[in-house]
Structure 1
């Protein structure tokens, strides 16, 4: 575990500890006032069956941690599946994810799949949430990725742009989950100068990002729902899903779909026809 990962692990555990109460973990209340919110370090240590000194040094980023101890702490802090995966990544307990930093190119099989998806918006996200590839309907839906310089073609960076704030009716929910997913990427790409620069840039530029990043929430990219106010297709309520490439788990195909017969499904058909007419992106969505 690197020094930076150890510090982040300690800060993350501290943030989760502050969210719990003695009642939530079954501890009696002594009646004495508490100087800080959440559980005390000695309470976490007692419940995890480790010494207070050990846990203190862990939160201070001065201690390597074994898998059994980390599992015990995760149980005490009521970590969910994504949070548990995050702390194990930080601690260097491998989950099979790549830590390479070289430039990625889209998997050829995923590119062929994108090319054949004419009625479903889809794109491929790589490490650090970079947009590696997309189909015409995704460009018509979200914006013309081809007009964005490759070094800026990052989904997290795009979400915090003014045009995305106008496009997403549920922008705050979308941005919150994006920040949580980006923090997960910190563990996957430990030590990446580019990722550090991205986080610093967004922190300096956007107060919402800075506040949500400091909260240290994490989430994996799985499934969800987004509502878009599209200038051509109108209001679209889209279900999104993520498919991981078996040949490269650092590449994920993200698709947006709608149930047949719904207004959103009809809107996507209209948008597909509009895109087929030679339009690359909706008005006002080009970068």
Structure 2
């Protein structure tokens, strides 16, 4: 018991020192805050980190003071974003807190080299691999330019729910975005029923409720829709209107990862997808 208490105490102090060091290295203008004339604190103030992370100032102060308090994976995720941690620093943060990262980085074992090759072979048909949480695990070049410039999106934000409710380019490309997003939220609720206690799911839900009033409104309806394909109209910023059929190809016996493709429904859409592929290849 004494050894466990000592280890916990060491972890708290290491975590406190790590948070303080990361806070002090960030310039206010890096996170959109004014520097001001009377700033004496190196980097960010504690209250600024608390504000950026949507946590209480007192609670965050206690965290930096190595007090014995509970910290959830969702809060650690918010702190990692606020402190601009890279992947190694993020992993260290969760390790110090002895918590499971709800959005770990690194390659996904679901996406094998053969599946990546398949995505390439499907060109110019836009295709990607998603999990049931709508994380985009892999995609081909045409899909990367279909709804927004996906390469420009940070890996931790490559989630269709996040993009659908927060990314202006993505939203502009989707015809009837309100109806489509309402359906997506209903599908997300149906999928989440089997993952209610999992940190990655609750962290994503918490983030969506924080950043999008639209999501909060549709989520409060408690609507549920099963997964399935449908016809979609996409107004691509580069090649114009695309008439596509959305298809799911499940990669296992359960409703987990799936390969999603957007098949053109007319010759004009096919030609425009070929143009989009050429544009994507030229940008490499």
1:178 alignment counterpart: 184
Rate the CA distance shift 1:186–1:209 in 2: closer, same or farther, 3 A.
Answer: same
Cα distance in 2 between the residues matched to 1:257 and 1:183: 26
Structure-to-structure mapping, 1:105-120, within 5 angstroms: 105-108=109-112, 109-120=114-125
Once residues 235 and 194 of structure 1 are traced to their aligned partners in structure 2, the CA distance between those partners, rounded to angstroms, is 35
Q: Which position in structure 2 is the counterpart of 1:151?
A: 156
Q: What's 1:137 paired with?
A: 142
Alignment deviations for residues 128-157 of structure 1 (CA, whole Å, 9 cap, x no partner): 111100000101212333332222221110
> What aligned pairs does 1:1-287 form with structure 2 within 5 A after superposition?
104-108=108-112, 109-161=114-166, 162-246=168-252, 249-261=255-267, 263-277=268-282, 279=283
Contact 1:243 1:253 in 2 (8 A): yes
Ranges in structure 1 where 5+ consecutive residues have no aligned partner:
1-100, 281-287
After TM superposition, give the deviation of residue 169 of structure 1 in Å: 2.1
- CA RMSD, 1 decimal: 2.1
Distance in 2 separating the partners of 1:265 and 1:226? 14
How far the C-alpha of 1:180 sits from its partner, in A, is: 0.9
Contact 2:131 2:137 in 1 (8 A): yes
Would you say the 8 A contact 1:105–1:132 is kept in 2?
Answer: no
Secondary structure of 2:193 counterpart: helix
Equivalents in 1 of 2:138, 2:181: separation in Å? 21
Three-state SS of the structure 1 residue aligned to 2:190 is helix
In the alignment, the residues of structure 2 paired with residue 159 and residue 264 of structure 1 have an alpha-carbon distance, to the nearest angstrom, of 22
- Alpha-carbon deviations, 1:186-222, whole Å to 9, x = none? 1132212222122122223222211110111112221
Q: Deviations 1:5-54 (Å, cap 9, x if unpaired)? A: xxxxxxxxxxxxxxxxxxxxxxxxxxxxxxxxxxxxxxxxxxxxxxxxxx
**SS in structure 1 of the partner of residue 133 of structure 2:** helix
Structure 1 range deviating more: 144-153 or 177-186? 144-153
Partners of 2:197 and 2:226 in 1: CA distance:
20
Q: Which runs of 5+ in 2 are unaligned?
A: 1-101
Task: Tell me if structure 2 keeps the 8 A contact 1:106–1:133.
Answer: no
Q: Does the aligned pair in 2 maintain the 1:233–1:267 contact within 8 Å?
A: yes
> In 2, Cα distance between the equivalents of 1:102 and 1:249?
19
Q: CA deviation at 1:252?
A: 0.4
The structure-2 alpha-carbon separation of the partners of 1:215 and 1:133, relative to structure 1 and needing over 3 Å to count, comes to: same
CA shift for structure 1 position 247:
6.7
Q: 1:112 to 1:248 in 2, by over 3 A?
A: farther
Contact 2:147–2:174 (Cα < 8 Å) also in 1: no
- Select the structure with the greater relative contact order (CA < 8 A; seq sep ≥ 6): 1
TM-score w.r.t. length of structure 1: 0.57
The aligned counterpart of 1:85 is none
Offset at residue 228 of structure 1 (A): 1.6
Partner of 1:16: none
Give every structure 1 segment of 4 or more consecutive aligned residues whose post-TM-superposition deviation is greater than 6 Å: none
Aligned-partner Cα distance in 1 for 2:103–2:233: 34
In structure 2, distance between residues paired with 1:142 and 1:188: 29
